[in-house]
Amino acid sequence: MNARIEDYALIGDEQTAALVGRDGSIDWLCLPRFDSGACFARLLGDENHGHWRIAPKPPPGARSAGTCTRRAYRPDTLVLDTEWETADGTVRVTDLMPQREHAPDVVRIVEGVRGRVTLRGTLRLRFDYGSIMPWMRRSDGHRVAVAGPDSVWLRSEPPVRTWGEDYCTHSEFTVAEGERVAFVLTWHPSHERRPRLVDPYEALESSVTDWRRWARRCRYDGPYRDAVVRSLITLKALTYAPTGGILAAATTSLPEKPGGMRNWDYRYCWLRDSTLALGALLTAGYQEEAEAWRNWLLRAVAGDPAALQVMYGVAGERRLPETELPWLPGFAGSSPVRIGNGAVEQLQLDVYGEVMDSLSLARSAGLPTRPHMWSIQRALMEFLESAWRRPDQSLWEVRGGRRHFVHSKVMVWVAADRAVRTLERHQELHGDLAGWRRLREEVHREVCEKGYDPERNTFTQYYGSRALDAALLLIPRVGFLPPDDPRVVGTVDAVRADLGHGGFLRRYDSDEGGDPVDGLPGGEGAFLACSFWLADALHLTGRPKEARELFERLVGVCNDVGLLAEEYDPVDGCQLGNFPQAFSHLGLVNSALTLFGADEAG
């Protein structure tokens, strides 16, 4: 299997996504949606759990042709070119998923660049995360795999001979300079008729055109523009187009520490990402996407405010039960492999602040309002007036018990503050202005009394604790205190000193004096979003040179095609956690806008 998470590149059609390794193998693909069962799950197991490799024929005595010579996305697109230079010549494989009309398609175009190269294809389909072997047959020039509700059709243009062996489909063919062979893999429900065929070459042209047209809308024109545009394209690829929901990541169970158990399913939409996503999209010039995300948010949170969840499915689903898949050994032996996420049942008070902040930002940015939007906000505030005193499980979804986390209380303050500001600016709206002002003052006073350590001049992770938390870096960003307040400067310095890890930043100390706050054994890597927050905080507190140096290091963590996972191990120099991670890419975009000026975004 591929040894490192950063060996992968992403392709997708805004309804699902695939990961392509440097060895020419698609090792992860869920069909038909991001959160459906995977038909290629080699990422979390081995070749027997499903994959699709197209690469040069291995030399005599070798199992594979090894990794590619070079690869890159075509500029400003999600179309991936992978090239191998062999003794016989050079060959390119172009991978993409065209925007779907009816069914999802994976298109792989093999092109001879120089000489004559023989390639070998191996398609091993295994539905339901590698657990179900389909029945294979031939039909109308296709190889057809069927099992239960799933059906996958494979064809090539021009036709290439395929044969079955070892419960998979093989092919071998030669391309000379200028010759092309295209493969199209299409999923559709097994009870329906074969979907309409797509022209792979037209799909390539239209995909390149569509992505570049979309990328040109980016208003940011400052330093590191290529990294910003790549991050925005990645966020677009992680958006479920039918609803506007933005996933946290395209994968499940990629480990936060190799061999560890911190392996979670991130193929859902987190409310904690809402303000960061809205701010990035609006500032960069993507109002349509921002409005779609805002509308998804309104639909998802509608209902009983007491039942507000920290995450939802891509269409707003609420039931995301967490289960383990024992037949998958996990990436680098990191088990268990999980689908669903038990954190959906947690109480996290910070999400109320995120929702109020997001809807306030949407209103001030001029996004069209919805008749029920203010009613939802009022209901959230009415719930918070009594619920804010409860301990919770923080934005980090700790499983070590509830506490009075400082960041959670700060976000309660944000909720009250945004409610007050909205009423002050929009007098046609109705609400408890006096009561919300009192709430804002009370929460602020309590946080400064119980969540601040005057001895060390820093805010703490939770009331009565000496531990720190990278989320405290958001205090000046959300307006709880101004950046030049000595308590803010002290907190930034303390967090950097206490949680620094190889020039980056951890979220928190996962083992506080033998009492792990998150209730889990083992550690994790540096958290990339938090490291971007540190760059922002350094800039806001008057240290722009240090901020830009950190930002440069963070951009340097991107893999060869510009993608970031959730975390980074500065000792082994490898990415960790689910991939690619929206939180990390949002951090990159927002830090670029913070450090280099929003005026660079139009």
**81 within a domain of the structure (yes/no):** yes
pLDDT in tens, 115-130: 999 999 999 999 999 9
Closest CA to 239 of 231, 226, 248, 227: 248
**381 within a domain of the structure (yes/no):** yes
- Rounded CA-CA distance 55/108 in Å is 11
| Residue where a domain stops, chosen among 194, 215, 236 | 215
pLDDT in tens, 465-480: 999 999 999 999 999 9
Whether residue 226 is found in the same domain as residue 151: no
76: which 2 tokens?
A: 């400003």
Amino acid at 131: S
**181 within a domain of the structure (yes/no):** yes
Phi, psi dihedral angles at 32 (to 5 degrees): -95, -5
Structural domain boundaries enclosing 40? 5-215
- Positive/negative CA dihedral, 500, 502, 506, 510: negative
Asked if 298 and 282 count as a contact pair (C-beta separation under 8 A), the reply is: no
Asked if 464 and 453 count as a contact pair (C-beta separation under 8 A), the reply is: no
DSSP class per residue in 316-333: -------EE-TT---GGG
Q: What is the pLDDT of residue 2?
A: 53
Whether residue 300 is found in the same domain as residue 371: yes
DSSP class per residue in 74-141: PTTSS-EEEEEE-SSEEEEEEEE-PPPSSS-EEEEEEEEEEEEEEEEEEEE--HHHHTBPPEEEEETT
Can you tell me whether residue 569 is helix, strand or coil?
A: strand
Question: Can the peptide bond before residue 158 be classed as cis, meaning omega within 30 degrees of 0?
Answer: yes
Q: What is the pLDDT of residue 511?
A: 59
- Strands (E) in 383-517, as ranges, are 452-453, 458-459, 500-501, 504-505
- Rounded CA-CA distance 556/6 in Å is 12
In sequence order, the 6+-apart residues with CB closer than 8 A to the CB of 280 are: 232, 235, 586, 589, 590, 593
Provide Rg for the chain, Cα atoms: 25
Cα 78 to chain centroid distance, Å, stands at: 15
Can you tell me whether residue 29 is helix, strand or coil?
A: strand
Q: What is the pLDDT of residue 512?
A: 45
**601 within a domain of the structure (yes/no):** no
| Residue where a domain stops, chosen among 163, 192, 215 | 215
| Residue where a domain stops, chosen among 180, 215, 250 | 215
- Rounded CA-CA distance 595/207 in Å is 32
Q: How far apart are the first and last CA of the chain?
A: 44
Q: What is the pLDDT of residue 159?
A: 94
Asked if 340 and 321 count as a contact pair (C-beta separation under 8 A), the reply is: yes
Whether residue 147 is found in the same domain as residue 221: no
**602 within a domain of the structure (yes/no):** no
Q: What is the pLDDT of residue 399?
A: 84
Walk along the chain (602 residues) in steps of 10 and give the mean pLDDT of each run.
85 98 97 98 97 93 85 98 96 97 94 97 98 92 93 95 93 97 96 89 98 97 97 98 97 93 95 92 96 95 91 96 97 96 94 96 94 94 96 92 96 98 95 97 98 98 96 98 98 97 92 64 90 98 97 98 98 96 98 83 52
Asked if 567 and 577 count as a contact pair (C-beta separation under 8 A), the reply is: yes
The DSSP bridge partners found for residue 108 are: 95, 183
Q: Residue 159 has what DSSP assignment? A: -
**310 within a domain of the structure (yes/no):** yes
CA angle centred on 460, ends 458 and 464, rounded to 5°: 120
- Rounded CA-CA distance 39/583 in Å is 26
Other Cβ atoms within 10 Å of 141 Cβ, number:
12
Closest CA to 23 of 43, 3, 53: 53
Whether residue 328 is found in the same domain as residue 441: yes
What CATH number is given to the structural domain containing 417?
1.50.10.10
Q: What does DSSP say about strands 25-30 and 17-20: parallel, antiparallel, or unpaired?
A: antiparallel
Cα 390 to chain centroid distance, Å, stands at: 30
- Rounded CA-CA distance 82/71 in Å is 4
Q: What is the pLDDT of residue 62?
A: 78
Whether residue 504 is found in the same domain as residue 397: yes
Whether residue 297 is found in the same domain as residue 403: yes
Closest CA to 469 of 517, 423, 508, 417: 508
Can you tell me whether residue 229 is helix, strand or coil?
A: helix
Whether residue 196 is found in the same domain as residue 247: no
Cα 71 to chain centroid distance, Å, stands at: 22
Closest CA to 25 of 5, 58, 4, 47: 47
**570 within a domain of the structure (yes/no):** yes
State the pTM of this model. Answer: 0.96
Whether residue 328 is found in the same domain as residue 341: yes
- Rounded CA-CA distance 217/96 in Å is 21
What CATH number is given to the structural domain containing 162?
2.70.98.40
Other Cβ atoms within 10 Å of 3 Cβ, number:
10
| Total domains in the fold of the chain | 2
Amino acid at 230: R
Whether residue 419 is found in the same domain as residue 521: yes
Whether residue 207 is found in the same domain as residue 236: no
Whether residue 402 is found in the same domain as residue 472: yes
**339 within a domain of the structure (yes/no):** yes
Closest CA to 355 of 384, 380, 327, 375: 380
Q: Residue 572 has what DSSP assignment? A: T
* Percentage helix, strand, coil for the chain under 3-state DSSP, each rounded to 5: 35, 25, 40
Whether residue 321 is found in the same domain as residue 339: yes
- Rounded CA-CA distance 81/601 in Å is 30
Closest CA to 501 of 533, 526, 537, 538: 526
Closest CA to 22 of 529, 563, 528, 555: 563
